[in-house]
Amino acid sequence: MFKLISLLYFAFLSCSANKQMQTCEPPSLDSIFVSWNKATLESLDRQIKATTDSLRKTFYNNRFLSTKEYWGIKNIYDLNTNSIRYKFLKALFVNLNDKTKDFYVIEANESGSKVLLRNFIVYKSSTNKAVVEFYDFFNDDWQKKGKFQEDNFTLQTDLKNYLSQFGKGFNYDDIVITEFKNGYVQESEYYLYSTLSADSQIKKILDGCRKENFIK
Does residue 93 carry a pLDDT above 60? yes
The backbone region for 16, taken as left when phi is positive above 0, alpha when psi lies in -120 to 50, beta otherwise, is: alpha
pLDDT in tens, 21-74: 444 577 899 999 999 999 999 999 999 999 999 999 999 999 999 999 999 999
Closest-CA residue to 84 (of 67, 72, 95, 68):
72
- Report residue 113's pLDDT band, with 50, 70 and 90 as the boundaries: confident
**Burial track 100-122 (b if 16+ CB lie within 10 A, e otherwise):** eeebbbbbbbeeeeeeebbbbbb
Q: Compute the distance between CA of residue 188 and CA of residue 130 in angstroms, rounded to an integer.
A: 19
pLDDT in tens, 122-167: 998 878 889 999 999 999 999 999 999 999 898 888 999 999 999 9
Mean pLDDT of the chain: 87
pLDDT for the residue 37: 98
0.85 cut: is pTM over it?
Answer: yes
Does residue 14 carry a pLDDT above 70? no
pLDDT for the residue 24: 58
Q: Compute the distance between CA of residue 147 and CA of residue 48 in angstroms, rounded to an integer.
A: 35
